[in-house]
Amino acid sequence: MRLCGIVSLVLACGTCLPATAQGWFEYANQEDRFSINFPEEPTIEETEYQPLEGPLVPARIYRAEQHDSDFELTIVNFTQEYEFSTWPFAYSGANAVQGSVAFAATALRRRGEVTYDAYDRLNLIPGQLLQVTEDSGRRIFAGIYVYDRRLYIMEASVPAGAPPPAIFRTSLAILDNEGTSVRYNQAAELVRGKPPVELQ
């Protein structure tokens, strides 16, 4: 009888899981060096990105939807245009690459009323977090980071009144060339993953 009660409780708890958690999985992409949670297999769009200055650079947009919410991760690849550096936060083309977080954040701020805007660190990789409410009432939750000549723009758009998309926005990891999540410490020393390597 006790076992039946426990089984019933487990089944009841299982049916109480929010619908937003159903179908979510970790999606990893070694070519663009990231992993993130998506609610479904994302579509991939090849495109070009115009930085603050300099030539257009290749980019990919990974998109997925769930109900009325949209989830995107844009990877801007500066590796073909800007020189390799063993120090991953310093590159040639400072305005285009090092200024890319600020440039992308400025574009997001123009989309509505900014309700949150703060410096962030993703495993101690510098970046910016923003929340913007559009005129329609939809809310945008964004995170922007640059590492090893790649710009990562993570963006979730949810309807007014919907909860923050935590399962998406807290899941981004930047990977090294072997697929390990990169992490630095307070002294900017690499403590997990391998340092950037020059592309052949």
68-85 per-position pLDDT tens digit:
999 999 999 998 887 766
pLDDT at residue 52 is higher than 60: yes
Res 21 pLDDT > 70: no
Q: Which stretches does DSSP call E strand in the chain?
A: 25-29, 34-38, 43-49, 57-66, 69-77, 113-122, 125-133, 139-147, 150-158, 173-174, 183-184, 190-192
Residue 63 resides in a domain: yes
Whether the CB-CB separation of 158 and 142 falls below 8 Å is answered with no
Q: 78-88 burial by CB neighbour count: b if 16+ within 10 A, else e?
A: bbebbeeeeeb
Residue 107's pLDDT band (boundaries 50, 70, 90)? very high
Distances (CA, A) of 58 to 3, 80, 93, 103: 58, 9, 16, 17
Q: If pLDDT is split at 50, 70 and 90, which confidence band does 86 have? A: low
Q: What is the mean predicted confidence (pLDDT) over 57-70?
A: 96
Residue 169 belongs to a domain: yes
Domain housing 49: 28-183
Q: Is residue 196 part of a domain?
A: no
Give the model's pLDDT for residue 1: 40
Mean pLDDT score of the chain: 85
Does residue 138 form part of some domain? yes
Q: How far is CA 23 from CA 61, 166, 194, in A?
A: 20, 15, 31
135-185 pLDDT tens trace:
999 999 999 999 988 999 999 999 999 999 999 999 999 999 899 999 988
Q: Quick check: is 160 in a domain?
A: yes
Q: Is 101 part of any domain? A: yes
- % pLDDT > 90, the chain: 64
Judge whether 195 lies within some domain: no
- Answer whether residue 20 is part of any domain: no
**What CATH number does the domain containing 71 carry?**
3.40.1000
Q: For the residues 178-199, what does the mean pLDDT come to?
A: 83
What pLDDT sits at residue 11?
37
Q: Considering its fold, how many domains does the chain have in total?
A: 1
